[in-house]
Amino acid sequence: MHVLHFTYRNLFIFAAISLTAVGVLFVHSAAAYWGQIRYADTAPFAFKQLIYIGVSITVAYFMMRTPHLSNGKFWTVFYVAAVVMLAAVLVPGIGAVRNGSQSWIALGPVSIQPAEFVKVALIGKLAMGMKQKPGRRIWDWRHFALILLPFALIMMQPDLGSAVIMIVAAFVVLFAAGYPLSFFAFLGFAGAGSFAALILAAPYRLDRIKSYIDPWSDPLGKGFQGIQSLFAIAPGGLLGHGFGNSRQKYLYLPEPQNDFIFSIIAEETGFLGAAAVLALFVCLLIGGFGIAVRTTGWRECLVVSGMVSIIIFQTFLNVGVVSGLLPVTGVTLPFISYGGSSMLTTWLAVGTILHFSRRTTD
């Protein structure tokens, strides 16, 4: 069993580091032309990404080593701070608007997206506050208050993608904690109705659904990104055009180093390269949940399960969008997409998982 745990932990670390390295390579490739236009240099985005990675891995190392992660007070402070930042985003003069969403806090040259951090904070707070009651109902309205408060603040920005990822990861924690299937069935029906209401309440969401169903109805507007993404993926074939030889990165696909970087990977490395990247995420999934089921504590298992769910569901959402299987939502590909908040949040989750991987049953 000890050897098996060692294998899961190392599989998880290998996948995380490999995906991060892949991200640096393809941020450089995808953003080379964009960097040339904006900065007269092909490497600034890759250089910044390396800085983000260095900071993120350093923070993850301290998360892994600190003894405070098993203390509920740590997660309470983290959660409160993240919610306060979420509220601050909505204050005029503090929150910055990008791509139609007021989701950022601009601090000079640095921008912070609080919705990213609240996902990790919520999972830690929710899991560490859970009480194990064998044979009894564990339903507690406070669990839903913890979830609904940041959800409401994120939807006010609005940022449906981040909200959905947070909700799914939180429900994984509730399911693992013992909430009954009937409860999730009820939430499924209620959630479907609420989701439909949210779409109808905001015309831009309805436009995204329409462009998802028929992107060619507005090929130069709402359907543009989805169409250009498919134009990148489809010609890639089995082996792709070769590293650095993407055609869509020449301003056809807007800011290809961000949410649609997987399209560039598929275009340059083909089906085999894209499948290899997805295989690394599968390794991360297996390693992460392998760690979760071997943690010594019940709450620790919930924390790890929730953190793994954040990364994996966000990956599913991003790949679904760029391949045309899901409507366009502004979510990054973990470890790979360009951006400091996304990278730091992902490695915060990794550091937390590795912290609890040090306390496992043999």
Domain boundaries, the chain: 2-357
Q: Minimum mean pLDDT among 114-118, 136-140, 209-213: which range?
A: 136-140
pLDDT (0 to 100) of residue 133: 58
CA separation for the pair 57, 65 (Å, rounded)? 12
pLDDT (0 to 100) of residue 235: 85
Q: Does residue 93 come out as left (phi exceeding 0), alpha (psi in the -120 to 50 range) or beta? A: left
CA separation for the pair 220, 281 (Å, rounded)? 33
pLDDT at 167 over 80: yes
> 3-state secondary structure string, 53-95?
HHHHHHHHHHHHHCHHHHCHHHHHHHHHHHHHHHHHHCCCCCE
Measure Cα distances from 130 to 3, 69, 142, 299, 302 in Å.
30, 15, 10, 7, 9
Q: Minimum mean pLDDT among 43-47, 52-56, 92-96, 254-258: which range?
A: 92-96
pLDDT (0 to 100) of residue 134: 47
pLDDT greater at residue 97 or residue 2 = 97
Do 258 and 338 touch, CB atoms closer than 8 A?
yes
Q: Minimum mean pLDDT among 71-85, 189-203, 257-271: which range?
A: 189-203
pLDDT at 343 over 60: yes
**What is the torsional sign of CA 253, 257, 258, 262?**
positive
The whole-number average pLDDT for the span 334-338 is: 94
The whole-number average pLDDT for the span 243-253 is: 84
Q: Minimum mean pLDDT among 62-66, 81-85, 180-184, 249-253: which range?
A: 180-184
CA separation for the pair 27, 315 (Å, rounded)? 17
**What is the torsional sign of CA 28, 29, 30, 35?**
positive
Q: Which amino acid is at 135?
A: G
Task: Summarize pLDDT for 173-210 with one digit per residue, the tens.
Answer: 988 888 877 777 777 777 677 667 766 666 666 666 77
pLDDT (0 to 100) of residue 50: 94
CA separation for the pair 101, 3 (Å, rounded)? 47
At residue 325 the predicted structure's pLDDT band, cuts being 50, 70 and 90, is confident
pLDDT (0 to 100) of residue 198: 66
For the chain, give the mean pLDDT.
84
Helices 340-357 and 298-322 sit at what angle, rounded to 10 degrees? 150
Helix (H, G, I), strand (E, B) or coil at 105: strand
Longest dimension (CA), the chain: 65
pLDDT (0 to 100) of residue 99: 66
| Matching residue, tokens 């360009």 | 338
Phi, psi of 338 (to 5 degrees): -70, 140
At residue 104 the predicted structure's pLDDT band, cuts being 50, 70 and 90, is confident
Sheet hosting strand 101-107, strand order edge to edge? 95-98, 101-107, 110-112
pLDDT (0 to 100) of residue 135: 47
Q: Is the peptide bond before 158 cis (omega within 30 degrees of 0)?
A: yes
For the residues of 15-54, what is the DSSP string, one character each? HHHHHHHHHHHHHHHHHHHHHHHHHS-SSHHHHHHHHHHH
Residue 80 forms beta bridges with which residues?
none
CA separation for the pair 90, 97 (Å, rounded)? 10
pLDDT (0 to 100) of residue 95: 73
Task: Summarize pLDDT for 284-313 with one digit per residue, the tens.
Answer: 999 999 999 888 788 899 999 999 999 999
pLDDT at 64 over 70: yes
pLDDT greater at residue 274 or residue 218 = 274
pLDDT greater at residue 143 or residue 348 = 348
Quote the tokens at residue 172. 């994984």
